[in-house]
Amino acid sequence: MTKRQKKTLYRIILSAVLLIAVGYIPVTGWVKILCYMVPYLIIGWDVLWKAIRNIAHGQVFDENFLMAIATVGAFAIGEYPEAVFVMLFYQVGELFQNIAVGKSRESIAALMDIRPDYANVERDGELVQVDPEEVAVGDIIVVKPGEKIPLDGVILEGASSLNTMALTGESMPRDVMTGDSVISGCINLTGLLQVKVSKEFGESTVAKILELVENSSSVKAKSENFITRFARWYTPSVVICAALLGLIPPLFVGGWANWIHRALIFLVISCPCALVISVPLSFFGGIGGASRCGILVKGANYLEALAHSQIVVFDKTGTLTKGTFRVAQVNAQAEEEKLLFLAALAESYSDHPISESIKAAWGKPLDKSQVEQVEEQSGFGICATVEGHRVLVGNGRLMEKYGIACDAQDYNGTVIHVAEDDTYLGNLVIRDEVKEDAKDAIKGLKAAGIAKTVMLTGDKKSVGQMVGSELGLDEVRAELLPEHKVEEVERLLQEKTGKGKLVFVGDGINDAPVLSRADIGIAMGALGSDAAIEAADVVLMDDQPSKILQAIRISQKTRGIVVQNIVFALTIKFLVMILGAFDIATMWEAVFADVGVSVIAILNATRALRVPK
């Protein structure tokens, strides 16, 4: 709970205690009124103030105004406990709603972690650290191992492996060498690089990502609170009806006191307590039920919107795939076991993700004493001496460097070639693994009525198409940078129909702009970046894609309960209001139409806590 929410809770408890205590005080007249005014003002002063302030700003008919006039009307006809009790119920509902909404997600401070703090520029024969914004196009910067690349540019000298996950979402390091282009925000893992700057910082990739997050957040569609929308029509209607009831009939039949009393009873009956409590409470129950399943929903409006999901867009790595790598295929010219053994030995001293996957594929202890003269060539691979034989393990450029012809076929993955003493032995194909429940999740979404499933990835096209085909996705867009993903989402947003919503599911920092731009952003929480989680509307805590379908089912059930409560509350209220207008319904019926209906609606709302299978 926030400090403000705790203060509201303390007011609720204090007001309730005072309301009970006043009932036992044997007083009458103005003293009794003053005794009830104390708990009433403690719990309702802010509602009264909001009503007055909104009237001053021209916003007359809202739920604050109706709560104020209904409870003041209850005081006017002598129903003091009812006035306090109705306001107390209203504040309990508001507190539940505030808790459900949770913390604001305006701040995406975690994203600033990708912003480089400095750039190394050579001046007067020495390297000095300067603000990236001070570096001009054409300047030469030096990037040491472990540092972020501060600006976009071209490598003049050096070779290295880059961690590009913050930008592309792909965990496989990217090998670069002289002549290759590099983008800001990547982390230099191994070699020293000299880079010629090609863009100013304001135009760099990392600056664009930060700008995209800020701009996309500002155009994020937000659901308007149902009660406020309803009150715009309901409140003025019942107030006008009450005024007409209290003023028009006495002009013809007399009995002003009697008709004004009926009008005030009419206002008490019309108080939308059942709605203002049960509607947010239903969503709160749905949010609570979802949280027990490892699904964190940041607000009732997002839970409601999920029920209208029409297009679901996925990132690939870490979302539909595990983000871990394995040897998926061994293409040996002769002995498969020998190829895998030599590759694992040559890679035994490396902790590169590719090396780890090769050693895991071998799966047996390795005697490192068999390996000598290991040379890791950044951007190429490894050259090692194994039991007196030269073993090469790396990409096609490594084979080309040593004049060895290799298999150039595209195997839809990262291909690692192996050679011994200038003899080509074959290759290993390394791929990211698809999550076990990803295929069932896609199938379930289509069965639930999702019109289109799309995957956006920074990986190469052949890999994206392979994953998309395996999972049964409707559309795959590959080789995308963050700004391209936003463009694709903008295009897909135009394909929606009616109340349909676009859902984006991602996990990386690079996904934060898209998560913010989509109607509903879902982040994979356990492995996801802080920025993606902050920017998202829904977080899957255990990273299971199947939870998306479960979240939609919870949303649909919750929305059904809300509709039931609305129909039930309005039907009873309109019926009793008519009876009250004809002096048939007394204050007891008025209490039932308000408090009784509220209790029934709340009990129905608790069903949202039970998670649908």
Any idea which residues carry the catalytic annotation? Answer: 315
Instruction: Give kind and range of the element (H or E) at residue 209.
Output: helix 205-218
Whether the CB-CB separation of 66 and 271 falls below 8 Å is answered with yes
Q: How far apart are CA 113 and CA 117, in angstroms?
A: 9
Whether the CB-CB separation of 548 and 311 falls below 8 Å is answered with no
What tokens were used for 478?
Answer: 């590959």
Q: How many CA atoms lie within 13 A of 279 on its CB side?
A: 21
Q: What is the DSSP letter of 202?
A: G
451 three-state secondary structure: coil
CA angle 405, 408, 411 (to 5 degrees): 140
Q: How far apart are CA 553 and CA 286, in angstroms?
A: 10
What tokens were used for 412?
Answer: 């839809």
Q: How far apart are CA 420 and CA 389, in angstroms?
A: 7
Which residues, including other chains, have CB under 8 Å from residue 256's CB and lie 6 or more apart?
Answer: 250
257-289 in b/e form (b: 16+ CB < 10 A) is: eebbbbbbbbbbbbbbbbbbbbbbbbbbbbbbb
Which residues, including other chains, have CB under 8 Å from residue 513's CB and lie 6 or more apart?
Answer: 209, 212, 213, 216, 482, 483, 485, 486, 535
Q: How far apart are CA 507 and CA 540, in angstroms?
A: 10
What tokens were used for 598?
Answer: 């509220």
